[in-house]
Every structure is written in C-alpha cells, then in structure tokens.
Amino acid sequence: MLTERQRLILWAVIDDYIVSAEPVGSRTVSRKKGVGFSAATIRNEMADLEEMGFLEQPHTSAGRIPSQKGYRFYVDHLLKPYMWTKEDLMALHEYYAMKVDHLEQVIKHTNAVLSNLTNCVAFILGPKQMESRLKHLQIIPLHDHLAVSILVTDSGHVHQQRVTFPEGVSLSSVEKLVNLLNHRLAGVPLSKIKAVMAKELYEELKRHVEHFEKLTTLLDRILQAEDEERVYATGATRILEQPEFRDVHKLKALLDLIEGGGVLAQLVEPNSNGVQVRIGCENDLEAVNDCSIVSAPFRIVGDVVGTIGVLGPTRMDYGRIINLIDFLSKDFSRRLSTLYETE
C-alpha cells in the first residue's frame, strides 16, 4: 500500500507527464503546487515507486514516466473531480446547437465532437442489428429477377441491398411474403423472424405464397447483411499528433485496427456498468498495448444497445476524458431514445 506522500508524488508525476509527454524529474515535482517536499525526498520516493512498478525510468539520467500499473492506480485512486473548462463548455454548447433528426446524423455529430474534445479516436459500436426489431421491409423490383430490399429496424437503421429472386419465384409471391411479414412480424427481433415465421405463419404462407420455401433463402440474405456490429470511428489522424506514435510500424498496426472496426468491436464489450477504462495490456491485443480505451454503454429507452468511447495513448487526460464519456454517453442515450420514440 502506498503512503500518502507516495500517492501525492505519483499523482504529481502522472499529472505533469500527461501534459508534457516528457520524463518528470524530482525538481519538477518539488515545484508543483501542493507537493511541499524537497527534491531529495521526492527523488528517494520516486526510486521506491519505480521499484514497486508504478514508475519507469526510460534513460539513466532522465526523470521518470508512469508505468501501466501507475496509470491504473492513478485512475482507480488518485483522480480528482474534473471541472469543465471554458473551451469544453463552448464545444458542448455548439454540440447542442446543431439540429440532428436521424440516427446517422446523431452518431456522426457525437463522434466528431468527442474526437475534437479529446484529440483521440472516437468510436461508437452497435447496436447489433440482429438485436434490433423489424419495423418495415420493402422490396422494389428493378428488372427481371433483380430487386432492391430496404429493411428498417426499430433502432432507426435503414439497410438496403440488391437481391435476386430465386428461380421460378414471381414478384407477386415476393410481395405477398413482404406484406405478411410487415403485418404479422413487425416488432419481432430480426434474429427470431425465421423461427416465428415457421411457428406462426407456416400454414398461411403455404396457402397464399407460391414457392415460399425458396423465398426463405432470399430472406436469409436480407437478414444476414444485418447480422454485424456497426462500427463508427472518427479522428484516426489525431493519433499522428501524439509523440507516442512516431514509430511507423506501431502506428500502422494501430491504424489497421481502427480501419478494421470488427476487431475494435471485440475489444469493447457492451455492459451496463458505467464508464470502463482499459489501460495498455489490459486490452489483450498487441496493437493497442500502448493505448487506453475509455468507454461507456448507451441505451435506447433504457436498454443497453451499444458502446461509445475513445482510443488514445496511455498518456491521456483520464479525468477529463472519463467525465466527457460519462456525460456524452448519457446524452447520446437521451437523443437516441427521443428519435426512437418519435419514429
């Protein structure tokens, strides 16, 4: 267990390093407001903190920098209440001033604000569309057996794709199937549509829809396109501004991760436990061993449906970012719920 003096010195080192990105020496800590110890005393305590694994010394003659263990202790025990700055308040005022009236706009706008305020990669994951419910399905014929399907879910997502009718299936059969689905299965989770259809609509489909067995393959294709995590990421270029990522190989691995949103989705599991902070190796992926992820769940009408967060260097302003994520996740939930209730 750390003494109060060690806790104060560890806080001072991390607080200074977050701002400067330079190793912190004992003299710098001694001049910090509220510390009140001599440089010699601080130097001894910093050596002890290094021995315990909370600090590291990158060069023999340099000061210390936080280790991942040090950051974890800082986040769990040393963070001070964050006070909004004038710049924060101005940015949030602009955030509220912009009118957004559909899901894609809310996501892009929230992501952009979060990335601008944190200088990190901002991301929004989900919701998984197969956890959403059917609101409306439409199939528009183009020519011969080619058509466009438009699937609308209760979360506000609209997905369209080109589809081909199975051999021998007529447009009138497709229209009958679509009408039945919209009339009888609206509100059913997409993952359960085929099971409910087989259980409750089998006899009706058999009587009224010619070749309905073949149409199940068409329905499979329409639903399969929705069985994926939606990943929105903004601000990848901001990583370039961070001194930690001057190593080209390290940067490339990270950018590949961000572009391949599916991997990012695996790192952040939606949960209902508020803001989560994963530091460095806690992320279980080499490309983000020098990064931290701060995330929180968002909800639609009370149900957790996805995650909002940022990815940045372990040397991030945790107090500020945790506060922003907490605030924006709740406001994002409110905006989504409003859109959902007005649909």
Global pTM? 0.72
Does 171 have pLDDT greater than 90? Answer: no
Q: What is the mean pLDDT of residues 145-168?
A: 80
Q: Mark whether 19 and 157 lie in a shared domain.
A: no
Model confidence at 341, pLDDT cuts 50, 70, 90, reads low
Looking at the structure, tell me whether residues 12 and 57 fall in a common domain: yes
The average pLDDT across 145-153 equals 84
Residues 65 and 212 in one domain: no
Where on the phi/psi map is residue 2: left (φ > 0), alpha (ψ -120 to 50), or beta?
A: beta
Using the 8-state DSSP alphabet, how is residue 77 labeled? I
Q: Do residues 237 and 183 share a domain?
A: no
Q: Are residues 233 and 117 in the same domain?
A: yes
Q: Rounded to the nearest 5 degrees, what angle is found at the Cα of 277, between the Cα atoms of 274 and 278?
A: 135
Do 119 and 249 belong together in one domain?
Answer: yes
Mean pLDDT of 143-163: 79
Check whether residue 72 and residue 33 sit in a common domain. Answer: yes
Integer-rounded Cα Rg, in Å, for the chain is 26
Domain CATH code at residue 322: 3.30.450.40
**Where is 305: in which H helix or E strand?**
strand 303-313
- Whether residue 229 is predicted with pLDDT greater than 60 in this model: the reply is no
The answer on 93 and 48 residing in a single domain is no
* Residues 201-223 pLDDT 10s: 878 877 777 777 777 778 877 87
For 189, the domain range is 130-224
For helices 318-342 and 86-97, the axis angle rounded to 10 degrees is 10
pLDDT higher than threshold 70 for residue 130: no
∠ CA(133), CA(129), CA(146), 5° rounding? 90
Question: Does residue 181 contact residue 137 with C-beta atoms inside 8 Å?
Answer: yes
Instruction: Specify the pLDDT at position 279.
Output: 96
Which of 182, 199, 224 terminates a domain? The answer is 224
Domain identity same for 217 and 260: no
Neighbouring CB atoms inside 10 A of 94's CB total 11
Cα(159)–Cα(164) distance, integer angstroms? 16
Which domain-ending residue is among 224, 258, 276? 224
pLDDT in tens, 23-76: 999 999 999 988 989 999 999 999 999 999 999 998 776 799 999 999 999 999
- Structural domain total, the chain: 3
The 8-class DSSP code of residue 189 comes to: B
Are residues 14 and 61 part of one domain? yes
How many residues in total does the chain contain? 343
Nearest to 232 by CA among 127, 145, 138: 127
97 in the same domain as 65 = no
* Whole-number pLDDT of residue 88: 85
